[in-house]
């Protein structure tokens, strides 16, 4: 009598297999990796720059910048004194794990504590592609409106932290902070929510503490 043994192993996508390899590289080097996701213009690069500045002397930070085109953001990061690699997706709307694997060759991994990955500006599909990161951060901003969590629940649900940037604009915009927080909590009960302004520096300290502990 033959017994059929059911295959219960989860079959990983090609992307997720590479993501696991990336993760083992990061773990071997003792690097904590944080994947930043947001709509275009929410302030991902500004938050990366503030984080480099705020953790200078405490954490050695490297950056991978994902963009459709240009190396404007990587140049800004390099000017701030952090090693940076630009990935141009050539129109692709998210980063994937193989792109990140290729980018690692351009970073001094043995000299890093923290790697910040700025994903392509897009709140839809980047969340579906693991890169090997340990933490995921969603950056929202006041001008985008307080209904963002209700419109993109699938993005908010996977996040380890949520940043609300540009709070210096609150006096000028109809934005209900409590409604935003309720929207986040409706889909995600565990992610801390950081209210801050990269422009003025207000509220950065708790974010920096979270990032340093990542
Ligand atoms: Mg940017
Ligand atoms: Zn995409």
Instruction: Give the DSSP letter string of 25-69.
Output: HHHHHT-EEEEEEE-TTSSHHHHHHHHHHHTTTT--EEEEEEESS
The rounded Å distance from CA 37 to ligand 1 centre is 10
The model's confidence at residue 52, banded by pLDDT at 50, 70 and 90, is very high
Please give the average per-residue pLDDT across 10-33, as a whole number: 94
The per-residue pLDDT for range 190-212, each reduced to its tens digit, is 999 999 999 999 999 999 999 99
Q: Is 108 exposed, middle or buried (0-12, 13-18, 19+ CB in 10 A)?
A: exposed
Helix axis angle for 44-54 and 204-212, nearest 10°, is 70
Q: Residue 24's Cα: distance from chain center in Å?
A: 19
Q: Is the pLDDT of residue 2 over 70?
A: no
pLDDT tens track for 138-172: 999 999 999 999 999 999 999 999 999 999 999 99
- 11 CA distance to ligand 1 middle (Å): 34
pLDDT band for position 41 (50/70/90)? very high
| C-alpha of residue 109 to centroid of ligand 1, in Å | 22
Residue 12: pLDDT band by 50, 70, 90 thresholds? confident
Q: Which ligand is nearest to the CA of 86?
A: 1
Chain-wide mean pLDDT for the chain? 95
Q: How far is the CA of 181 from the centre of ligand 2 (A)?
A: 27
The closest ligand to the CA of 89 turns out to be 2
| Structural domains of the chain ordered from first start | 7-213 (3.40.50.300)
Per-residue pLDDT band for 121 (boundaries 50, 70, 90) equals very high
Looking at the CA of 40, name the nearest ligand.
1
C-alpha 161 to ligand 2 mean position (Å): 21
User: Ligand 2 center to residue 110 CA distance, Å?
Assistant: 31
Distance CA 142, CA 111 (A): 36
* pTM metric for this prediction: 0.93
**Statement: residue 9 has pLDDT above 80:** no
Ligand approaching nearest to the C-alpha of 37:
1
DSSP secondary structure string for all residues of 81-100? T--EEEEE-TT-SS--HHHH
- pLDDT of 1 > 90? The answer is no
Query: How far apart are the CA of 20 and the centre of ligand 1, in A?
Result: 25
Whole-number Å distance, alpha carbon 120 to ligand 2 midpoint, is 8
* Separation of CA 96 and ligand 2 centre (Å): 9
Structure token digits, residue 164: 């609300």
Q: Kindly identify the ligand whose nearest atom is closest to the C-alpha of 77.
A: 1
Nearest to 181 by CA among 166, 167, 195: 195
In angstroms, rounded to a whole number, what is the distance separating the alpha carbons of residues 145 and 98? 34
Q: Order of strands, edge to edge, in the sheet holding 32-38?
A: 84-88, 61-67, 114-118, 32-38, 135-141, 161-165, 193-195
Distance 73 CA to ligand 2 centre (A): 19
The pair phi, psi for residue 116, each rounded to 5°, is -100, 125
Instruction: Give the residue with greater pLDDT, 91 vs 192.
Output: 192
Angle formed by the axes of helices 44-54 and 72-79, to 10°? 10
| pLDDT value for 6 | 60
Instruction: Report the percent of the chain where pLDDT is more than 70.
Output: 95
Q: State the pLDDT at residue 127.
A: 96
Identify the pLDDT of residue 39. 96
- For residue 133, the CA-to-ligand 1 centroid distance in Å is 18
């Amino acid at each position: 009598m033959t017994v059929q043994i059911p295959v219960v192993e989860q079959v990983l996508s090609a992307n997720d297999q590479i993501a696991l390899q990336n993760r083992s590289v990061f773990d071997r080097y003792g690097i904590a990796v944080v994947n930043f996701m947001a709509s275009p213009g929410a302030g991902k690069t500004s938050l990366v720059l503030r984080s480099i500045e705020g953790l200078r002397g405490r954490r050695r930070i490297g950056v991978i910048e994902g963009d459709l085109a240009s190396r404007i953001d990587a140049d800004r990061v390099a000017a701030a004194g952090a090693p940076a690699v630009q990935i141009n997706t050539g129109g692709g709307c998210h980063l994937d794990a193989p792109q990140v694997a290729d980018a690692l060759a351009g970073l001094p991994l043995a000299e890093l504590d923290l790697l910040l990955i700025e994903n392509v500006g897009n709140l839809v599909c980047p969340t579906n592609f693991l890169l090997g990161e340990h933490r995921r951060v969603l950056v929202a901003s006041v001008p985008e409106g307080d209904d963002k969590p209700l419109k993109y629940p699938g993005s908010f649900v996977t996040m380890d932290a949520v940043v609300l940037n540009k709070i210096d604009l609150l006096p000028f915009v109809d934005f209900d902070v409590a409604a935003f927080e309720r929207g986040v909590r409706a889909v995600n009960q565990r992610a801390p929510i950081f209210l801050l302004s990269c422009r003025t520096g207000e509220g950065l300290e708790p974010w920096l503490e979270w990032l340093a502990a990542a």
